[in-house]
Amino acid sequence: MLTNRPFLDYSDTSTLSTSAECKPHHQNWLLNQKKTPFNNNLSLAAKAKLGHQKKLFLGYPVNMNTPVEEFFAWRRQLQEADIGSLAFNNAGNPFKRSAVPFDTHNFERDVISRFGELLGFSLSDIWGFLSNSGTDSNMHGMYMGRTLLKGRTGTIPKTYFTKEAHYSIQILRDLLGLDTVVVETLPDGSMDPMDLKLKLADNSNYPALVVATIGTTFKGAIDQVDGIQEVLKDHPSYLHLDAALFGGYLPYTDHASEVLHRIDSNPTLERYDSIAVSCHKFFGFPSPAGLFITTEDLFNEFSELFSKIHNPEYIHQVPGTISCSRDAVKPAEFYFFSTPSAMARQAEDAQSILQLTTHLLDQMQTHFANIRPTRANDHSNTIYFRKPNSWIVEKYSLATMQLMENNKRQDFAHVVVMPHVNQKVLTEFLTDLEKYSDTS
């Protein structure tokens, strides 16, 4: 039976203060909030000023270019379709029909197909999704590798990567409870396939989950996919590529084969099992996101095992992703970056960053050889060198790390030439190096 008891009106403070018996737990806190509706310390003006400094941002692999106006027009179109204003949700497998219609799976599928094709995947055998970040995509790759290898052999694999791999791989191997085998590197910082061979022999009773980095974070080294595959061919293994930065631009260059799933000279060979690429790094998508791409065959095998780990009845399908609720706005927005005109801009950016990196290396080697400027290979957009004056580190937000040099730990810094970097800022950087040549 309905009663006539009035419902509490939280906007009416007099009701709140007189209804002592029904007092919500946080009533005082709520009342206080009314008195301070806005925190002035969180002013946006300071954030707006940051935009002007973006050209000086040389130390981390994020493209700080503001997307073209058409992107913002696309955003507005999405909003008119309620994407970004209603709680759309991409829970589930983007390649299957969803029980909840408020998703953008169609955009997500297209994004995966377009970038997958660029990365040499066959459109008749592809699966993937848009994740929260490169790290999130690496997590999925490592989890998929762990699940498949354990399913095939009954043994949890050991994971293999080098000390140059991104620190997130160390976190993920801990999260997934995987024993690690650290593989030595060659002088350029890439994985040494011969050491991998020795380490596999030492651990012959365990399957191998290998994480190869295409563009290591600090040095920009490239682990050689074919050399690694050659060593892995007689061992139960899964090869995941962490191509967070280089996976964005290499497909547009003459060095695309470093990240291609299949190459023309051997079209039947699948060179790796899965790949992770960050969307906010080279592409300049203005919020963190990642591509995760694998084959449909591998995904189906994974999905079979995954369905035994959990009961997905509630959403009428095996979701295929670790996260249940997933962002629906990002795939629809990132779709813009997969259009022909956006890809044409990415191709231009790829040429430009490699040309500017060559120029910077040339200048640094000519004028500042003493700080040992090094580029791991000529497809890299990263140059590392002895750490300069702290003022320069601060001005250009340079990442710094200690590296071994002549058996001693030395402070180093690096510059990553991203699409927002231009000749003018590099000249300014070189001038500052000249002016402040001490390395304190």
Ligand X SMILES: Cc1ncc(COP(=O)(O)O)c(C=O)c1O
When asked if residue 135 is in the footprint of ligand X (CB under 6 A), the reply is yes
CA distance 166 to 244: 10
Among 109, 140, 166, 173, binds ligand X (CB under 6 A): 166
Minimum CB–partner distance for residue 439 and ligand X (Å) = 25
Task: Give the residue from 334, 319, 373, 432 showing the smallest Cα distance to 71.
Answer: 334
When asked if residue 93 is in the footprint of ligand X (CB under 6 A), the reply is no
Task: Give the residue from 435, 364, 343, 352 showing the smallest Cα distance to 395.
Answer: 435
Could you write out the DSSP letters of every residue in 275-309? EEEESSSSS--SS--EEEEE-HHHHHHHHHHHHHH
Contact window for ligand X (CB under 6 A) among 109-117, 238-246, 249-257, 321-329: 238-246
Q: List Cβ neighbours of 218 (8 Å cut-off, separation of 6 or more).
A: 164, 382, 384, 399, 401, 403, 412, 414
Among residue numbers 46 through 75, which ones bind ligand X (CB under 6 A)? 61
When asked if residue 278 is in the footprint of ligand X (CB under 6 A), the reply is yes
When asked if residue 185 is in the footprint of ligand X (CB under 6 A), the reply is no
When asked if residue 133 is in the footprint of ligand X (CB under 6 A), the reply is yes
3-class secondary structure, 382: strand
CA distance 362 to 434: 15
- Give whichever of 83 and 165 is closer to ligand X, judged by the CB atom: 165
Task: Give the residue from 59, 56, 51, 48 showing the smallest Cα distance to 422.
Answer: 56
Order the strands of the 382-386 sheet from edge to edge.
382-386, 408-416, 399-405
Minimum CB–partner distance for residue 136 and ligand X (Å) = 7
Q: Is the CB of residue 146 less than 8 Å from the CB of residue 176?
A: yes
Is the Cα torsion angle 45, 51, 54, 57 positive or negative in sign? Answer: positive
Among 290, 320, 388, 419, binds ligand X (CB under 6 A): 290
- Which residues pair with residue 209 across a beta bridge? 159, 238
- Give whichever of 31 and 171 is closer to ligand X, judged by the CB atom: 171
Minimum CB–partner distance for residue 13 and ligand X (Å) = 45
Among 120, 134, 248, 319, binds ligand X (CB under 6 A): 134
CA distance 319 to 89: 13
- Give whichever of 138 and 237 is closer to ligand X, judged by the CB atom: 138
Minimum CB–partner distance for residue 162 and ligand X (Å) = 11
Q: Is the CB of residue 67 less than 8 Å from the CB of residue 74?
A: no
Minimum CB–partner distance for residue 244 and ligand X (Å) = 4
When asked if residue 245 is in the footprint of ligand X (CB under 6 A), the reply is yes
When asked if residue 248 is in the footprint of ligand X (CB under 6 A), the reply is no
3-class secondary structure, 237: strand
Closest-approach residue to ligand X (CB): 134
Minimum CB–partner distance for residue 217 and ligand X (Å) = 4
Contact window for ligand X (CB under 6 A) among 32-40, 49-57, 239-247, 403-411: 239-247
When asked if residue 244 is in the footprint of ligand X (CB under 6 A), the reply is yes
When asked if residue 108 is in the footprint of ligand X (CB under 6 A), the reply is no
When asked if residue 242 is in the footprint of ligand X (CB under 6 A), the reply is yes
Task: Give the residue from 242, 277, 265, 228 showing the smallest Cα distance to 116.
Answer: 277
Minimum CB–partner distance for residue 315 and ligand X (Å) = 26
When asked if residue 213 is in the footprint of ligand X (CB under 6 A), the reply is yes
Minimum CB–partner distance for residue 170 and ligand X (Å) = 11
Minimum CB–partner distance for residue 62 and ligand X (Å) = 8
Total residues contacting ligand X by CB under 6 A comes to 15
Helix (H) or strand (E) holding 129: strand 127-131
Q: Which residues bind ligand X (CB under 6 A)?
A: 61, 133-135, 166, 168, 213, 215, 217, 242, 244-245, 278, 288, 290
